[in-house]
Amino acid sequence: MKKLLCVIAAVLFTSPVFAAGGGGELKHAEWSFDGPLGTFDKAAMQRGFQAYREVCSGCHSLNYIAFRNLADLGYNADEIKAIASEYEVEDGPNDEGEMFMRAAVPADHFPAPYLNENAARAANNGAYPLDLSLIFKARPNGADYLYSLLTSYVEAPSHMNVPEGMYYNAAYSGNMIAMPQPLYGDDIEYADGSDSSADAIAKDLVNFFAWTAEPAMETRKRTGVAVLIFLVLLSGLSYGAMRFIWADVKK
Amino acid sequence: MSEKQFSNPAVRWIDHRLPIFSFLNHEANEYPTPKNLNYFWNFGSLAGISLVVMIITGIALSMSYTAHVDYAFESVERIMRDVNHGWLLRYIHMNGASFFFIVVFIHIFRGLYYGSYKAPRELLWILGVVILLLMMATAFMGYVLPWGQMSFWGATVITNLFSAIPGVGEAIVTWLWGGFSVDNPTLNRFFSLHFLLPFVIVGVVVLHLVALHRFGSNNPLGIDTKGPQDTLPFHPYYTIKDFFGLSVFLTFFAAAVFFFPNFMGHPDNYIPANALQTPAHIVPEWYFLPFYAILRAVPDKLGGVLAMFGAIAVLFILPWLDRSPVRSGRFRPIFKIFFWLLLADCVLLGYIGAMPAEGLYVLVGRLATVWYFVHFLVILPVLSVIETPRPLPQSISKPIFTGGGAMAGAAAAPKEKV
């Protein structure tokens, strides 16, 4: 009984309804990956990848993505090798039993910025920067949520007291977020000269994280179209066959 | 079972010693089936096929899954990313659970409406309820395996229910967990049982089919078949009808798998399990929501648990609660109204189960829970006594009524002579 009560109490008091400041408000945008025929926007994903590297990756890991996966973004094998070689990963133990650092290869996953959760918290005022691989799928309405979160750092209402080390974010549940504002506009210079306003970078990041959360999305939807066409035809044919066989049955 | 003479000598030789061909011929080919079954009778075969789909995809998934608290979440993501078509296997299995329950719920409500639980099919019905219970246990344990936030907290809430048992409750929970919280031993045993139970379900399904084939299918008129003029051989008439039904079912299933694979899931389950952080709302999978609503409707914990299990238990004794000799709801004007009320009540309970237990939701949940039990324990027994059923047709093929107005059953049985 006590345990259940604890669980129920925990549920109630951590729910957004009870959180100070109320729930977040989402902005809506059009996304290329929306809908049954949606596809990834490779140019936006490459820009988002650059933004992740230059802005997010200082604190946030991307554990489920390997360098080889970058082929999905349109990079060729040499480009992927070059990108990987810019990173160092720990390997070993070698013949002497020592761990050692070496340049990453395409088969390696992106190295995390911190050794473990405690190190991450120690460096971030007690807050834990989440792994971003699945963040897109781990939030309801992921695309609009991430876009809103990244672009909703606004002045706190005068009646709200923002504690030290916290920031006001209109899209965040409870409005108090430990992550400082990541984008101010012109944070990065895009190689293709694209718009680098905070809004545009946020959208590029969303495109990138939509892919990191489910690299197989395009294959899934493309396969789905073929499968559905087949099944609709099969349903039609089997309906015809059924009518043919049942034609001689008197009700 | 009469031995059929097969033309192929090899088949004949085997069949004489091991009559599997005679058996299949008798049960899947000649098997006399009422000729007036409507599309609601497709859902039995769909449930069987769903079970097979779940077992096949489940075995494939288990080859790449790691049942360990440190690796389970990651291994599922590996399946989604690095296993060839792993995303497809995983999405079929994940959505397959939902579609299995959709099919089974329709199958159950079909039985409720057409009185398929009545004599002589009581054991057939009871075996079906056993399958439902096994399905619920299997689905619950399967949902724990990805070891996301909802997996972990769902497991914590549900296993904690057993602590309501007076005296030994806490000990039983510790025993279930294999420790003092939901942890690695819990995950391991859930994986083991999640692998085992589907095969137990297969066994009970076989018994379900044996019981079904004893008297054959019920039918929309709810009257017994009177001879060959009322039936059709199962093949090709119902094999093709089941095949058509399967094609349509797969079309809907594929639409979900390929275009909305996460619609029936919860985003929190893409967050790795964290014992130190409770999700904002712990909600079970949608197919458990009506039962979850009943659980929460009772203010006392033990009472809630008893009510939740009681909601299933009452189905076991249903054949003796509804004593009306008329099976089909078509000929029971008052029963018919209460049937639709029960269906609406179950949908309402499902909605309440998804809502936070506060304010008006609590009151509505309680009323809906009371209605659920009143339907089975009061209304059905009373209706069996006070309701005057409409006249029944004499046979499936001869829709002539034993009495009353000829118009009464005109819709139920069209005007064809034998």
Read off the pLDDT of residues A122-169 as tens digits, 9 standing for 90 and up.
999 999 999 999 999 999 999 999 999 999 999 999 888 899 889 999
Residue with tokens 């139970």: B197
Q: Which of B188, B331, B240 has its CA nearest to residue A246?
A: B240
Do β-strands A176-177 and B32-34 pair in parallel, antiparallel, or remain unpaired? unpaired
| Per-residue model confidence (pLDDT) at position A25 | 81
| Per-residue model confidence (pLDDT) at position A14 | 38
Give Cα separations from A46 to A70, A78, A87, A218, A223 (angstroms): 9, 16, 18, 16, 24
Chain A residues in contact with B418 by the CB 8 A cut-off are: 250
Q: Which amino acid is at B154?
A: G
| Per-residue model confidence (pLDDT) at position B414 | 43
Residues 72-131 of A with CB under 8 A from B: none
What's the burial of A221, exposed, middle or buried (CB within 10 Å: 0-12/13-18/19+)?
A: middle
CB within 8 Å of B183: residues ≥ 6 apart: B69, B177
Q: Is some CB atom of chain A closer than 8 A to the CB atom of B235?
A: no
Q: Is B233 helix (H, G, I), strand (E, B) or coil?
A: strand
Average pLDDT over residues B297-304: 94
Interchain contact, A36 vs B259, CB within 8 Å = yes
Alpha-helical (H) ranges within B263-392 are 289-297, 301-316, 318-321, 333-354, 360-374, 380-386
Report the residue from B173, B254, B268 with minimal CB separation from A224. B254
Measured CA to CA, the distance from residue B148 to residue B69 in angstroms comes to 10
- Site from A39, A245, A249 to mutate, B interface, most B CB atoms within 10 angstroms: A245
**What is the sign of the dihedral through the CA atoms of A43, A44, A45 and A50?**
positive
Task: Give the tokens for residue B187.
Answer: 């995950």
CA distance B65 to chain A (A): 16
Give Cα separations from A113 to A60, A110, A124, A179, A244 (angstroms): 7, 9, 12, 16, 66
Interchain contact, B81 vs A36, CB within 8 Å = no
Report the first-to-last Cα separation within chain B, whole angstroms. 29
Interchain contact, A231 vs B244, CB within 8 Å = no
Average pLDDT over residues B303-310: 96
- Answer whether B107's CB lies under 8 Å from B64's CB: no
Q: Tell me the per-residue pLDDT of B63-89, one tens digit each, with 9 for 90 and over.
A: 999 999 999 999 999 999 999 999 999
Give Cα separations from A185 to A12, A54, A177, B266 (angstroms): 38, 13, 20, 34
Interchain contact, B258 vs A249, CB within 8 Å = no
Task: Give the tokens for residue B99.
Answer: 């579609």
- Say if residue A16's pLDDT is above 60: no
- Say if residue B59's pLDDT is above 80: yes
CA distance B204 to chain A (A): 30
A174-183, B148-157, B400-409: least confidently modelled range? B400-409
Q: Tell me the per-residue pLDDT of A234-243, one tens digit each, with 9 for 90 and over.
A: 999 999 999 9
CB within 8 Å of B284: residues ≥ 6 apart: B140, B143, B154, B158, B292, B353
- Say if residue A6's pLDDT is above 60: no
| Per-residue model confidence (pLDDT) at position A250 | 74
Chain B residues in contact with A239 by the CB 8 A cut-off are: 244
- Answer whether A16's CB lies under 8 Å from B176's CB: no
Q: Is some CB atom of chain B closer than 8 A to the CB atom of A69?
A: yes
Q: Is some CB atom of chain B closer than 8 A to the CB atom of A235?
A: yes
For A103, list phi and psi in degrees, rounded to 5.
Answer: -65, 145
DSSP letter assigned to residue A21 = T
Q: Is some CB atom of chain A closer than 8 A to the CB atom of B7?
A: no
Chain A residues in contact with B271 by the CB 8 A cut-off are: 134, 138
Q: Is some CB atom of chain B closer than 8 A to the CB atom of A229?
A: no
- Say if residue A17's pLDDT is above 50: no
| Per-residue model confidence (pLDDT) at position B2 | 61
Element (H or E) spanning A146, and its range?
Answer: helix A142-151
Interchain contact, B301 vs A241, CB within 8 Å = no
Chain B residues in contact with A250 by the CB 8 A cut-off are: 397, 416, 418
Average pLDDT over residues B16-30: 95
- Say if residue B416's pLDDT is above 50: no
Instruction: Report cis status (omega within 30 of 0) of the bond before B120.
Output: yes
Measured CA to CA, the distance from residue B158 to residue B175 in angstroms comes to 14
Q: Which of B339, B328, B343, B333 has its CA nearest to residue B380?
A: B339
- Answer whether B391's CB lies under 8 Å from B381's CB: no
CA distance A51 to chain B (A): 23
Interchain contact, A249 vs B237, CB within 8 Å = yes
Nearest CA in chain B to A233: B247
| Per-residue model confidence (pLDDT) at position A251 | 66
- Say if residue A20's pLDDT is above 60: no
Confidence of residue B368 (pLDDT cuts 50, 70, 90): very high
- Say if residue B286's pLDDT is above 70: yes
Measured CA to CA, the distance from residue A158 to residue A135 in angstroms comes to 31
Interchain contact, B251 vs A232, CB within 8 Å = yes
Residues 23-42 of B with CB under 8 A from A: 35-36
Interchain contact, B254 vs A216, CB within 8 Å = no
- Say if residue B405's pLDDT is above 80: no
Measured CA to CA, the distance from residue B36 to residue B220 in angstroms comes to 7
Measured CA to CA, the distance from residue B248 to residue A231 in angstroms comes to 8
Report the residue from A4, A36, A69 with minimal CB separation from B301. A4
Residue B361: Cβ within 10 Å count: 18
- Indicate the average pLDDT of chain B: 94
- Site from A5, A13, A15, A26 to mutate, B interface, most B CB atoms within 10 angstroms: A15
A166-180, B45-59, B248-262: least confidently modelled range? A166-180
| Per-residue model confidence (pLDDT) at position B409 | 41
Measured CA to CA, the distance from residue B80 to residue B76 in angstroms comes to 6
| Per-residue model confidence (pLDDT) at position B57 | 98
Average pLDDT over residues B323-335: 96
DSSP letter assigned to residue B402 = S
| Per-residue model confidence (pLDDT) at position B415 | 41
Q: Is some CB atom of chain A closer than 8 A to the CB atom of B236?
A: yes
Nearest CA in chain A to B303: A1
Interchain contact, A14 vs B282, CB within 8 Å = no
Interchain contact, A220 vs B261, CB within 8 Å = yes
Confidence of residue B4 (pLDDT cuts 50, 70, 90): confident
| Per-residue model confidence (pLDDT) at position B26 | 94
Q: Is some CB atom of chain B closer than 8 A to the CB atom of A15?
A: yes
Q: Tell me the per-residue pLDDT of A194-237, one tens digit each, with 9 for 90 and over.
A: 999 999 999 999 999 999 999 999 999 999 999 999 999 999 99
Give Cα separations from B266 to B94, B135, B141, B354, B358 (angstroms): 11, 20, 16, 12, 21
Average pLDDT over residues B233-241: 97
Report the first-to-last Cα separation within chain A, whole angstroms. 60
| Per-residue model confidence (pLDDT) at position B314 | 98
CB within 8 Å of B83: residues ≥ 6 apart: B64, B89
Looking at the annotation, which residues of B are catalytic? 213, 217, 241-242, 285
Confidence of residue A3 (pLDDT cuts 50, 70, 90): very low
Interchain contact, B262 vs A137, CB within 8 Å = yes
Confidence of residue A24 (pLDDT cuts 50, 70, 90): confident
Average pLDDT over residues B7-32: 95
| Per-residue model confidence (pLDDT) at position B393 | 92
Instruction: Report cis status (omega within 30 of 0) of the bond before B284.
Output: no
- Say if residue B390's pLDDT is above 50: yes
Q: Which amino acid is at B325?
A: P
Report the residue from A173, A220, A228 with minimal CB separation from B87. A220
- Answer whether A24's CB lies under 8 Å from A199's CB: no
Report the residue from B88, B160, B237 with minimal CB separation from A246. B237
Measured CA to CA, the distance from residue A64 to residue A137 in angstroms comes to 13
Share of chain B above pLDDT 70, in %: 94
- Answer whether B186's CB lies under 8 Å from B176's CB: yes
Interchain contact, A3 vs B163, CB within 8 Å = yes
A50-59, A85-94, A187-196, B57-66: least confidently modelled range? A187-196
Residue B372: Cβ within 10 Å count: 23
Nearest CA in chain A to B241: A242
Q: pTM for the whole thing?
A: 0.91
- Say if residue B60's pLDDT is above 90: yes
Interchain contact, B80 vs A216, CB within 8 Å = yes
| Per-residue model confidence (pLDDT) at position B400 | 57
Report the residue from A11, A223, A245 with minimal CB separation from B236. A245
Average pLDDT over residues B377-406: 82
Chain A residues in contact with B247 by the CB 8 A cut-off are: 231, 234-235, 238
